[in-house]
Amino acid sequence: MRRPLQARVRFLWTLATWALIALAQPGVLRPDGFGHLAFFAVGPWALAARRPGKRAFLAEWAAHSLGFAAVFWWMVAFFPLLLLPMAVIPALYPALGGLALRRAPAWPLALLAPAAWMLAEVVRWTLPAPLSFGWFRLGFLMHDTEWLVGSAAWFGTWGLTWGMAALGGLAGDVALALVRPAGTPSGLVKAFGFGLTPLAVLAFLSSRPGGPTVSGPDVLVVQSGIEQEIKAARRDPLLDLFVPQVTRTLEALIETRVPGEAGGPDVIMWGETFLPGKLHEPDVLQDFRAGVRPTELSGRAAVSELELVQQHQLAEDLVSALLGTGPGELLTAPVWRQLFQREPAAEWADRVARGEPLLPPGTSFLSGVESWASVPMDGGQVLRSVNGVKLWTPDGRSTPIASKVHLVPGGESPDALRGIPFVLEAVRKVAKAVPDFVAGEEPGVLLIPGADGRVHRAGIAVCFDNAFDDPFTTPLRRGPVDLFVVVSNEAWYKSSPEMDHMLAFSRIAAAASRRSIVRATNSGISALIGPDGRVLQEVRGSDGRRKMVAGALRVRVPVPDRRAGAGGVGEATFFARTEPVQPWAWGGGAALILLFALVRRRFGHSGPGQPSPGFDFEG
């Protein structure tokens, strides 16, 4: 019979798991993290969880809550009160996993621990807010482990999580065998099999090479380095955002110009919601004239038709100025000169007033934008905001907006809080409005024309999308994708590890999709990530910093070679094809293992020779 464990000891051992995970995070001890610190992290929790004791569930829940608080600590820079629900609610699920371990027979922890951890992770990941908050998965800590991360092309982050949790469970089995060597040798052999086989399979899959690549679009990313307080204030978006960003773009074009080059890059990329103004499609204006309005909680219910039209025209006129595709309807030459005839914009503003383009011939422009959308809600139509990305070709034609599909719960969308009206009212009083964004139905793909005549298909992910799988897998299932672009604004969190987390997510996504990813951010971390998940280039300041700095990055993006005989490398990876069912498969498999173990114990059958679980933590 297993000896009971005191609640305080259980709490400390569970906390040890999270201490290893917290220290392994990117941005804590080093920018890319120390993922190997988390190889055995699950072990202390598994050892404690299998022992009975009073207040066992509460002790583990409390420790898991502190662990999630450490992982989500970057949130305090934005909204400290959110840290409590972000930690306490997700912590419920691994605490329930511990409950399953206590009920299970004495089977190897190398099998039971990954099953309990994986089931908790899948449940936490798939439940919507406010029932949970995804973000963290154990496997993402392997983003910088080159001999493992390539396996994401088959099993994504899920496979990496299982491999790490199995190794942690094996560490627990070895500890039990060393302290209480009363079990059968075959039990330890089976533990090593369950613990090392997943890692060996992942390492083998990771070693399989990807297909050949060729040079793709010539991309110039311009990172503003602007502080979020300035961007959010919107006192004068033209002078606070547009003028310095255009100046920085023109400087970057000079600094990165290739000797003898006649034109410029294929596309210039700006960050999330960086273009001043607010766009809308023609049907939005028609609905507005028919009486459709924003919601009262949004604080924009009093928007006028004139404001709607002028905000759209402002954005279009600014792009026309960059591309030189014609005089603006709102920003005519006299108005332009009046607004912009001051340093540092005087020189280029005069060029715009004369009708000259600012960008080189043949260069497209891509930027994060805001737009209005007319959507159904509560039995009627309302106007809500869209956070997306738009591309303008050199001749001024524009693509449809590629919309963000995963909105930040409570930060961008009120939908998760509609059942808690007093919280919505509190948000409205503090922020003077409630965020009214609406998510896109599916990720978008934008076509980037190249100077060589090729057209490159770029899948688009916007900020929080970057933490999920489907913005990268869905476009691949629909058709060919050459590269992905992540347009993001992480300046909310200043120089916290959140920026390093986001880069790590992008690296996993690149390895899982076998596609390069260009990150175009407002203040960091902008980078080019190769199809193998390695960071090829990134924006850094003169002092080496990559967060909250201004800079630019001009790169040739590697894309799949689609020529005949290139091996079909333009096709989707196994993970991309199976991603919708993988969480169910991993979670279902984990649930079946635990259920089978519980049934076996219920009917008195012993497990497969596990050493006696008599490890005395209290010594």
Give 109-165 pLDDT, tens digit per residue: 999 999 999 999 999 999 987 788 888 999 999 999 999 999 999 999 999 999 999
Residues 6+ apart with CB under 8 A from 482: 216, 217, 456, 457, 458, 515, 557, 559, 560
Q: Select from 176, 55, 152 the least CA-distant residue to 504.
A: 152
Q: How far does Cα 457 stand from its chain's mean position?
A: 20
Tokens 């973000």 sit at which residue? 135
Helices (H), 324-394: 333-340, 346-353
Cβ neighbour number for residue 543 with a 10 Å cutoff: 6
CB 77 within 8 Å of CB 203:
no
Q: What Rg, from alpha-carbon coordinates, does the chain have?
A: 26
Give 27-47 pLDDT, tens digit per residue: 999 999 999 999 999 999 999
- Cross-strand pairs, 535: 529
Q: Which of the pair, 532 or 333, is modelled with greater confidence?
A: 532
Strand spans (E) along 393-474: 402-403, 445-449, 455-462
Query: In this structure, what DSSP letter does residue 447 have?
Result: E
Tokens linked to 403: 């919309």
What is the value of pTM for the model shown? 0.91
Tokens linked to 473: 């897998």
Strand 402-403 to 527-529 pairing: unpaired
Q: Select from 488, 477, 487, 496 the least CA-distant residue to 580.
A: 477
Strand 535-538 to 483-488 pairing: unpaired
pLDDT for the residue numbered 209:
84
Residue 56 has pLDDT above 60, yes or no: yes
Give 467-523 pLDDT, tens digit per residue: 999 999 999 999 999 999 999 998 878 888 889 999 999 999 999 999 999 999 998
Give 104-119 pLDDT, tens digit per residue: 888 899 999 999 999 9
Alpha-carbon distance of 579 to 516, in angstroms, equals 19
Tokens linked to 345: 């914009």
Alpha-carbon distance of 358 to 325, in angstroms, equals 10
Q: How far does Cα 143 stand from its chain's mean position?
A: 13
Which amino acid is present at 79? F
pLDDT for the residue numbered 183:
58
Give 300-346 pLDDT, tens digit per residue: 777 888 999 999 999 999 999 999 887 788 888 888 877 777 666 77
Cβ neighbour number for residue 309 with a 10 Å cutoff: 15
Residue 8 has pLDDT above 70, yes or no: yes
Please, what's the largest Cα pairwise distance for the chain?
A: 89
Average pLDDT in the 66-84 region? 79
Tokens linked to 146: 């080159």
pLDDT for the residue numbered 478:
93
- Cross-strand pairs, 554: 220
Give 451-469 pLDDT, tens digit per residue: 888 999 999 999 999 999 9
pLDDT over 70 percentage in the chain: 88
Alpha-carbon distance of 443 to 441, in angstroms, equals 7
Q: Select from 450, 466, 457 the least CA-distant residue to 556.
A: 450
Q: What angle do CA 477, 480, 481 make, to 5 degrees?
A: 95
Alpha-carbon distance of 279 to 140, in angstroms, equals 36
- With residue 540 as reference, give the H or E element that holds it: none
